[in-house]
Structure 1
Amino acid sequence: MNVQAPSVMAPPPPRSLAAMSVPLPMLRDILIKTMFRMNLDLVSQISRAICLPVSVTQELVDMTRSQTLIEATGTLNANNGNEMGYRLTDSGRARALDALSQSEYYGPVPVPLAVYAEQIKRQSIRNTQLTRDRLESAMGHLVLPPDLLSNLGPAVSAGRSILMYGPPGNGKSSISNGIRDALDDKIFVPRAIEYSGQVITVYDPIIHTSAEDDVDDPNSLRRTSGRYDTRYVRCQRPTVITGGELSLSMLDLVYNPVARTYQAPLQLKATGGIFIVDDLGRQAEPPQSLVNRWIVPLEENKDILALQSGEKFEVPFDTLVVFSTNFHPNKIFDTAALRRIFYKIKIDGPSQEDFLKIFAMVARKRKMPLDEAALVHLLNVRYPEIDNVYANYQPIFLIDQMIAICEFEGIPYQMSPALIDRAWNNMFVKDEAIQR
């Protein structure tokens, strides 16, 4: 039985400028830059663009109008609910150009880092209540050793770091994706955050999967619109997957010298979700160096980032980090690094019984009929050549190879000892000297 994931407490919308904790000059400049760049003249349009409630947007417009940077056009727009129109004054346009020269950022008002930190607590990955039913449902397409979920479940529920290690081709990446699927609730990701007057963009449509907002039922007494701060995007818990391309520089703030804004590093974008470091040991950076970068975040639940000026500041670290490697941990880490990774789970190859289950499952999915003679040949002749070491990737590899042969030869899908041999020869490379 599937257990529904608990809902996350949404960030409440701001009720006034004073309650927002954003410097008023920044609010004013974002307003006039947005009006200038997007050619907006109605409060309802501006409200949607800067992601503030209409009442707060009107308050901001009135404040900026009192500074003679905005003026009312004196006309009501009949096509938009008889709204009063507004436009920038000459001094407002000059101020907008000056503000754009300092920072090209306009649009959604950023969320102060301290305010976002409170939302992180409300939606912490450590608050998730993962059950065996949900994990089994997410891993249902995998054939796994019986004790693996018993070890994996508490590790995921704790929201701490996990190291999965073992021979290649046994599903470590698939298991990591299954963990992601098991965490199926929604959280709120800020479009941008503000620290010390600097804007750091966080929401990334490549990483974050936006969830459809609830649709209002006109007959319902409870309305969903306006129930959370639209400076956030409601998303599935994010998953960032990196492999051999991961470098230490990807974990730092990225400064855009043209826009004069920052982009959040990968681990900050993964806040509230999962950061998967796949194929650890294949990166240009030594594994020990990568793990050393994570020591403070893993131990203290905070990360330290630096601005262009050199100023360092703390951000919450609320991420389940999953390291996956084909190397033995003792070969790539020292004991201090291993101590800081809370769960170590070995992912071995399947038993012969599980191998046959996977083989049959893949064959059924690929519409490849099983052949007893071919399987006996595979198990009794070919696998003894590699000391009967089975891997999860091998059934898919062998069956896809036989399918390719059948399609090339123009014969129906089938398996035989001869086809097994042809497929087997493509799975391994002979260890032999090559004359050059």
Structure 2
Amino acid sequence: MNVAANQLSEGSVTSNVTAPPSPRSLADTGLTLVMMRDILLKTMFRTNLDLVSSISRSICLPVPLTQELVDLARTQKMIEATGTLHATSGNEMGYQLTDGGKARALDALSQSEYYGAMPLPLEQYKVQIKRQSVRDIRLNKDQLMAGMGHLILPPDLIDNLGPAVTSGRSILLYGPPGNGKSSISHGIRAALGDKVYVPRSIEYSGQIISVYDPIVHSAAEANFDDPSALRRTSNKYDNRYVYCERPSVITGGELSLDMLDLTYNPTARTYQAPLQLKATGGIFIIDDLGRQAEPPQKIVNRWIVPLEESRDILALQSGEKFTVPFDTLVIFSTNFHPNDIFDGAALRRIFFKIKIDGPSQENFLKIFAMVARKKKMPLDERALMYLMKVKFPTINDLYANYMPVFLIDQMISVCDFENIPYQMTPELIDRAWDNMFVRQEHIAH
């Protein structure tokens, strides 16, 4: 099987994801009044916001519920009205913390520096995960091909990938290096196409775990009201979520097992979600498996419970363990033969095993011509015959998908440096070929 490493284009999948409803009462948030009041006070203290509409955007609750929280804090003498109406903000009343409110905010900040968006209780988040499960995605062959962009793929590869992706189960892509395993992984992500709701943070046992990460998650739209707008739109869904593309987390040789645990910030006294939790509803790609400091067997062992039971076990700083849903398509990619890095038990737990081979000579030439056309390098029959009849026999005619891009880029670099028109000659083929491999020799020290 083969694939050309090329640019991916977005596929499209009809989304049937149900949006999380906006809370209509403070009880609907699932949080205690004390926690919400303290987050309100900390937010006002840290941001200096004084208008309910601005505070509403910061704590991600509807304006009426934010007003209700402000009124609650006023009855407890922690917030007071400034007596000033802001004409530029719809004649809103201004509010500020009292001395007692500032003292309470400082006390709350000493326990946790978290402020801003109200978190989602874990139990509420579990409900939303079921609404947008990656296992409910149904792709047809055209959608999967669209996600692969201009990759040159044999039909049997798509036939094998399709059931693997729509199952939402684990996938192992293996084969020689340079044949597009990473590109296929990215293509799967592009094919998913639809959007999900990612929580800004979740709450468990009074502890707050940040989930939304702008590096991982690509926000699709904002859901906040314009104070000057005639219609209110922010009740379309719960603002404690961010509407995002399905997440895609990609790790390589840098992956270590501690990246799959909660990260505790002792200064802020909050937690950062591990990578697999951030990937919920999307895909988690472990590239270059076998290049990590941890043995591949140990890395796969870490996924046994999540892959088999669709739940993961995390631990707080106190040692308390709790379970979170595991709803992620895990893709392992390796240049090693699976039998060399896994035992039989580990292989059984990876649902689909798909080999990605180098291209045939025919497909190699198609890829070469496509890359040359894209990079405006004129094809030369004499140079191509030299490449195929003289150079490739020296490596037993083993073709790889990275080679066309590599060879053509090398020839372009020479032409640019020597200030000559782009051209393909046997001499330039030789110079490019020499940079593709390192001659085996002894170097004296």
Helix, strand or coil for the counterpart of 2:153?
Answer: coil
Give the Cα separation in 1 of the matches to 2:80 and 2:223: 36
Give structure 2 stretches of 5+ with no counterpart. 1-10, 226-230
Does the CA contact (< 8 Å) of 1:193 and 1:199 recur in 2? Answer: yes
How many angstroms does 1:131 deviate by? 1.3
Task: Deviation per CA, 1:178-236: give whole Å up to 9, x if none.
Answer: 011101111111111101000100111111111124899xxxxx985421011111110
Please give the TM-score of this superposition, normalised by the length of structure 1: 0.96
Cα RMSD between the aligned structures?
1.7
Match of residue 392 from structure 2: 383
Give the Cα separation in 2 of the matches to 1:187 and 1:229: 13
Q: Percent identity, please.
A: 73
Does the CA contact (< 8 Å) of 2:15 and 2:195 recur in 1? Answer: no
Please give the TM-score of this superposition, normalised by the length of structure 2: 0.94
Matches within 5 A, 1:122-161: 122-161=131-170
Q: Would you say 1:427 and 2:444 are equivalent positions?
A: no
Match of residue 178 from structure 2: 169
How many angstroms does 1:101 deviate by? 0.8
1:41 paired residue among 50, 65, 68 = 50
Off by >3 Å, runs of 4+ in structure 1: 213-216, 222-225
Give the Cα separation in 1 of the matches to 2:253 and 2:16: 35
Give the Cα separation in 2 of the matches to 1:430 and 1:18: 70
Q: Would you say 1:202 and 2:245 are equivalent positions?
A: no
Give the Cα separation in 1 of the matches to 2:345 and 2:43: 50
Matches within 5 A, 1:169-318: 169-213=178-222, 224-318=233-327
Q: Which amino acid aligns with 2:53?
A: S
Helix, strand or coil for the counterpart of 2:88?
Answer: helix
Match of residue 219 from structure 1: none
Q: Which amino acid aligns with 1:41?
A: D
How many angstroms does 1:23 deviate by? 1.7
Give structure 1 stretches of 5+ with no counterpart. 217-221
Match of residue 344 from structure 1: 353
Give the Cα separation in 1 of the matches to 2:98 and 2:75: 12
Does the CA contact (< 8 Å) of 1:5 and 1:183 recur in 2? Answer: no
Higher relative contact order (CA 8 A, sep 6+): 2
Give the Cα separation in 2 of the matches to 1:432 and 1:325: 28
Give the Cα separation in 1 of the matches to 2:140 and 2:222: 26
Does the CA contact (< 8 Å) of 2:59 and 2:117 recur in 1? Answer: yes
Give the Cα separation in 2 of the matches to 1:103 and 1:188: 26
1:356 paired residue among 362, 365, 381 = 365
Does the CA contact (< 8 Å) of 2:264 and 2:271 recur in 1? Answer: yes
Match of residue 331 from structure 1: 340
Give the Cα separation in 1 of the matches to 2:176 and 2:116: 49
Match of residue 39 from structure 2: 30
Match of residue 103 from structure 2: 94
Does the CA contact (< 8 Å) of 1:7 and 1:186 recur in 2? Answer: no
Give the Cα separation in 2 of the matches to 1:91 and 1:224: 35
Give the Cα separation in 1 of the matches to 2:375 and 2:297: 41
How many angstroms does 1:44 deviate by? 1.2
